[in-house]
C-alpha cells in the first residue's frame, strides 16, 4: 500500500570559524587536555564570535542543505529550528531564519528539547509531511551554547560548543514495504522528574535573566546509557529491523564514554558509529546534523543506507529515529 514518507533530500552544516582547543581552555580554567580527552573524547570546540547568532549559524547550514537538495527557498513551506539558545526569547529563531532566507510562506517555529531537539524536530516535521499539511521542510539544529556556559565551572564549560546543521525533508510516496526510503520509525520520551540534573539556572519567567548551564554530570551519565539504549531498542522493535541491519548509528555527540557504553550494550561495531565530538564537543541540538553531515561528506550516506539517530538531553528528553537514506 502506498504511503507518504519524509525523505531527506539534502544536508548541510556550519561551524563558527573560531576554534578553542583544550589547551586554550586550560589557560583560564583549571583543567588539562589529558583530563578532557580521557573523560570525554573532546579535543576542541568552535565558538561563535560576538554578534554571530544561532540564526546566522542555522541559515548557513540551511543554505548548504538546500543547495545540495537542489531546492530553492521558495519551495520550503515549513521551518523547524531546534535550539535551546535562541537569538531572542521571542520571536522564534526559526522565523528569523525564514526571513533571512527570504521565505514568506508556510510556517516556522522553534522546538526546545535541548540535546534531543533535532530528533524531536525531525519527528514533528515528519508528522506535518505525512499529514499533508506541508510538503518540504527545513529542519535545523542550531546552538550557541558558549553564551550560556559558566566559564569558571570546569565541570561543564569544557564539554560544549557552538554549531548548526540542517536537513531538507520532502514528502514522497513510497510503496510501504521494507525498501521504502525516508523516516521509517521514531520514538520520543521525556521525564520532567529529572529536570534538576541538567538545566539552565535562569529564564524570563523565573529570574528575568538568561542564566548558566548547570549539570550533575555523574547522574546524567548514569541515565544516558540506560535511557538511550532503551529507546533504540523500542524504535528498532517498531521498525521491524534488528540492530545488526543498521548501516550507520548517528548518536548525539555528548561524550565518547557514553557512546562506547551504548555500543557495548547494543553490540554495535565501532565502524558503524559516527563520532565527531572530538572536533566540536557537545553542540546540543546541532550535534546530530553535524555528525550526519560528516558522514555525508565521507560518502557513507549513500542511497539505501539504514541510519539510526538517537539523543538524550535536559528534561530529561530522549528519542530515536530510523531513516533510510
Instruction: Please say which residue, 186 or 282, places its beta carbon nearer to ligand ACO.
Output: 282
The DSSP letter of residue 132 is T
- Decide: helix, strand or coil at residue 256: helix
Write down the least CB distance from residue 38 to ligand ACO, Å: 9
Annotated catalytic residue 282:
yes
Rounded (5°) CA angle 113-250-305: 125
- Among 320, 295, 288, smallest CA distance to 142 is for 288
Question: Which is catalytic among the residues 46, 212, 252, 294?
Answer: 252
Annotated catalytic residue 14:
no
Write down the least CB distance from residue 40 to ligand ACO, Å: 5
Q: How would you classify the pairing of strands 213-215 and 198-200?
A: antiparallel
Instruction: Please say which residue, 167 or 228, places its beta carbon nearer to ligand ACO.
Output: 228
Of all residues in the shown chain, the one whose CB is closest to ligand ACO is 217
Write down the least CB distance from residue 315 to ligand ACO, Å: 10
Instruction: Please say which residue, 63 or 154, places its beta carbon nearer to ligand ACO.
Output: 154
Compute the radius of gyration of the chain from its Cα atoms. Answer: 18
Chain-centroid distance of CA 85 in Å reads: 13
Write down the least CB distance from residue 271 to ligand ACO, Å: 23
Strand blocks (E) in 112-197: 136-144, 162-174, 182-190
What is the secondary structure of 27-72 as a DSSP string?
Answer: TTSS--HHHHHHHH---EEE-PPTT--HHHHHHHHHHHHHHHHT--
Residue identified by cell 546534523 is: 289
Instruction: Please say which residue, 56 or 310, places its beta carbon nearer to ligand ACO.
Output: 310
Q: Which residues bind ligand ACO (CB under 6 A)?
A: 31, 35-36, 39-40, 115, 154-155, 158-159, 198, 215, 217-218, 220-221, 224, 252, 254-255, 282, 312-313
Question: Which is catalytic among the residues 81, 115, 124, 157?
Answer: 115
Write down the least CB distance from residue 29 to ligand ACO, Å: 7
Q: 144 has which bridge partners? A: 162
Instruction: Please say which residue, 39 or 135, places its beta carbon nearer to ligand ACO.
Output: 39
Residues taking part in catalysis: 115, 252, 282
Amino acid at each position: 500500500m502506498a504511503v507518504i514518507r519524509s525523505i531527506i533530500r539534502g544536508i548541510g552544516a556550519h561551524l563558527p570559524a573560531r576554534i578553542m582547543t583544550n589547551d586554550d581552555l586550560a589557560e583560564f580554567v583549571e583543567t588539562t587536555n589529558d583530563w578532557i580527552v580521557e573523560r570525554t573524547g573532546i579535543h576542541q570546540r568552535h565558538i561563535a564570535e560576538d554578534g554571530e547568532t544561532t540564526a546566522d549559524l542555522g541559515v548557513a547550514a540551511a543554505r548548504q542543505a538546500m543547495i545540495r537538495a537542489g531546492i530553492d527557498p521558495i519551495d520550503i513551506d515549513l521551518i523547524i529550528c531546534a535550539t535551546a539558545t535562541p537569538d531572542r526569547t521571542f520571536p522564534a529563531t526559526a522565523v528569523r531564519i525564514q526571513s533571512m532566507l527570504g521565505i514568506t510562506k508556510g510556517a516556522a517555529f522553534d522546538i526546545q528539547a535541548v540535546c534531543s531537539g533535532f530528533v524531536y524536530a525531525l519527528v514533528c516535521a515528519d508528522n506535518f509531511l505525512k499529514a499533508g499539511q506541508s510538503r518540504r521542510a527545513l529542519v535545523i539544529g542550531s546552538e550557541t551554547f558558549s553564551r550560556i556556559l559558566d566559564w569558571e565551572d570546569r565541570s561543564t564549560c569544557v564539554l560544549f560548543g557552538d554549531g548548526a546543521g540542517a536537513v531538507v525533508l520532502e514528502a514522497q510516496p513510497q510503496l510501504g514495504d521494507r525498501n521504502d526510503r525516508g523516516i521509517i520509525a521514531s520514538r520520543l520520551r521525556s521525564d520532567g522528574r529529572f529536570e534538576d540534573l541538567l538545566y539552565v539556572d535562569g529564564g524570563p519567567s523565573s529570574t528575568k535573566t538568561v542564566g548558566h548551564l548547570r549539570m550533575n554530570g555523574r547522574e546524567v551519565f548514569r541515565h544516558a546509557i540506560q535511557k538511550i539504549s532503551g529507546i533504540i531498542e523500542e524504535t528498532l522493535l517498531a521498525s521491524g529491523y534488528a540492530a545488526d541491519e543498521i548501516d550507520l548509528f548517528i548518536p548525539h555527540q555528548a561524550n565518547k564514554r557514553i557512546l562506547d557504553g551504548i555500543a557495548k550494550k547494543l553490540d554495535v561495531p565501532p565502524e558503524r558509529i559516527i563520532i565527531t565530538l572530538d572536533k566540536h564537543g557537545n553542540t546540543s541540538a546541532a550535534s546530530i546534523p553535524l555528525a550526519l553531515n560528516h558522514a555525508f561528506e565521507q560518502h557513507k550516506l549513500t542511497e539505501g543506507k539504514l541510519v539510526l539517530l538517537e539523543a538524550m538531553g535536559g528534561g530529561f528528553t530522549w528519542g530515536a529515529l530510523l531513516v533510510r537514506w
